[in-house]
Structure formats: C-alpha cells, structure tokens
Amino acid sequence: MSRSTLLSVLANGDFHSGQALADLLGVSRTAVWKQLNLLAAEFELEVESRRGKGYRIPGGIDLLDPAQVKGALNSAAQRLLGRLEILETIDSTNAQVMRRAEQGAAAGLVCSAEQQTAGRGRQGRRWVSPYASNLYLSVLWDFSQGAAALEGLSLAVGVAVARALQNCGLIDIQLKWPNDVLHRNAKLGGILLEMQGDVAGPCRVVVGIGLNVAMPAAAGDSIDQAWTDIATLSEGEPPCRSALLAAVLNELLPLLAAFEQRGFRPWRTQWQALDALADAAVSLAGPTSLVGIARGVDERGALLLDTGTGIQVVHGGEISLRRVP
C-alpha cells in the first residue's frame, strides 16, 4: 500500500471512510487501520477515527506539491532549476544532495523533504525537522573558481531568503551574522553550506535552508534557543509550503547563477539593512572569543567588530555571535 497515497488523501482534513480508503488502495480495512496507526506514530500525526465517519487528520496537512512549486516559479528560476526532487523522509536534504553530487547529478538539483530524520545544523547541531510542518531544502550549484570565490555566499543566501519571505508578505525579517534568519531576535530559519571538491578549483556547493513554517509544539520544545515560525508571524495562516518553496527558489536560483561573477558586493547593502545586530554590543564565541560593537560586514561578508582599539575583521566559520545583554 502506498503510504504517500494515504497521506495525500487525508491531507485535506476531511473524514474518509475505512472502506473508501481500503477500496482506493486495494487492501483490507484492517490493513488501512494498521497503516494509519504506523503513520501516526512515525510522523507524530493526530489521526482521528470516528465511528460511522471514518478517519481524518484534524486541520489537514500541507504537503509539498511539485506541480504547484514549479507553477509558481518565475521565468529565471524555471530556466535555472535543474531537477526538483520532493521526498517524504530523508536523513538530511544536504546529505542527499551531497550523495547525488558524488553520483554526478547536474547543478540546479533541488531537493526538499517532508521530514528529515538527521537534519544538520551549524556547528554539528541537529536541525529539528518534523513531518510536513516546515521547509527543508538543498540546492546543488557548481563554482569553478574555488572556495575564495564563495566568500559571502551564505550571507547572500540569507538576503535571498529574507527577500522571499518579504515577497510572501512577512515583515520584520532580519539576519544575524553569519547566517541565521530571525524575526524579532527569535530564530526563524538557518542556512548551511557544504562543499565538495577542490578548495582552489572547481567545486560543488550544497546550499541548505531550513525555515520554521508551522512547528508542532512538541518538536519546538526540543529547540534550545528562542525560535519562531511563519505561522506565528502570519497569525496562524502561513502561505502554503509549496508557495514558500517557490518563493525561495525565485530569489535563490538567480543569486546562485550570478554569485561567481559578482561576489557578495551587490548584496552587502541589502544585508546591512537586514542586520539584526547592527551597532549592538556583541560577543563572539569560537576558536577565539571577542567582545565589541558589531559594525556590519565588509565586501567579502566578514564581520566588522569594533573592539574599542580598532576594527577587527572576523571571517565566518565555526563562530557564533551573541548580543551582550
């Protein structure tokens, strides 16, 4: 029996009789009941069963729809998109695109999933990735001039994500160096770039983006920092995830196509306008710890930290930046 068929039928939130589901899938009603119990446990979904009516998922689920995503792409994104893969469950979309890159997949591959079982965050952290609730996507892109040409790319990706959210009507989106997406100091999303190939020559980059759309409370409880989601920002009525995915690709794919030629410079002004920590007292935790006033970024995306004795230029890496209370 196809689990995804069962989920897509129940996605509308209406009741469906056990017999109708059994007929649709060509299995017994008992098999439907067993499968629904398994799905409910695996995906932490509430499946309601009511005598005489059948089964439903209260409120429905917002499943990703590849046709809807493609239909909402602008002409530039349509031209730049290679293949769009929408998966049900995967360890990590970044890991998946890395594997596909090793197998020779073409640049422009976009992979998104309903759920990640081992979503990767920065600094070895786990990215909480419950089923059909948030957006998890990874894009494969090729660069010919090595790692140096990629400086500032993750910041520029942040600008693309912020613009996509603004295009969906969301306001007060900000960025925190190096690549957190925030709303009023609560984390809304994150960006993780991974690289394959030659640091001095041709390389393949996986751009991973996670956005909290409608985080279930139980999953949110396991996040160890202030967070928010798009549902909260849009008073419980977030745009559907397919529309959000298309909005991100509409900004991201043209940026990736232009970045190697143009670098971070054209994105700097926009990044600074979105800077959540502009002129704030901050502390940096990393290989070296530093305190100072954040003074934006330079043309390569490095943080400019005013330490009182001069401006220290801090390049990205395994560093985290915090506002000093």
Tell me the pairing of strands 173-176 and 180-183. antiparallel
Give dist(CA 192, CA 178) in Å, integer. Answer: 10
CB–CB of 285/122 below 8 Å? no
Give dist(CA 244, CA 240) in Å, integer. Answer: 6
Give dist(CA 56, CA 52) in Å, integer. Answer: 12
According to CB under 6 A, which residues from 90 to 129 bind ligand BTN?
A: 92-94, 116, 119-122, 125, 127
Give yes or no for residue 259 binding ligand BTN (CB under 6 A).
no
State which residue, 121 or 286, has the beta carbon closest to ligand BTN.
121
211: tokens are 């956005």
Give yes or no for residue 264 binding ligand BTN (CB under 6 A).
no
Residue 176: active-site member = no
Give dist(CA 132, CA 7) in Å, integer. Answer: 11
CB of 116 to ligand BTN, least distance (A): 6
Catalytic member of 3, 70, 300, 322: 322
Give yes or no for residue 192 binding ligand BTN (CB under 6 A).
yes
Give yes or no for residue 163 binding ligand BTN (CB under 6 A).
no
- Residues that contact ligand BTN, how many (by CB under 6 A): 20
Give yes or no for residue 212 binding ligand BTN (CB under 6 A).
no
DSSP annotation of 28 reads -
Residue 83: active-site member = no
Strand partners, 320: 285
Give dist(CA 101, CA 92) in Å, integer. Answer: 14
E-only strand ranges, 78-157: 84-90, 110-116, 135-143
Near ligand BTN by CB under 6 A: residue from 190, 263, 292, 301: 190
State which H helix or E strand residue 175 sits in: strand 173-176
State which residue, 35 or 94, has the beta carbon closest to ligand BTN.
94
Residue number, nearest CB to ligand BTN: 190
CB of 181 to ligand BTN, least distance (A): 8
Catalytic member of 122, 176, 204, 268: 122
Near ligand BTN by CB under 6 A: residue from 136, 141, 259, 264: 136
Residue 300: active-site member = no
Nearest residue to 229 (alpha-carbon basis) of 131, 135, 123, 95: 135
CB–CB of 73/81 below 8 Å? yes
CB of 212 to ligand BTN, least distance (A): 10
Give yes or no for residue 177 binding ligand BTN (CB under 6 A).
no
The residues carrying an active-site annotation are: 122, 187, 322
Q: Which residues bind ligand BTN (CB under 6 A)?
A: 92-94, 116, 119-122, 125, 127, 136-138, 180, 190-192, 208-210
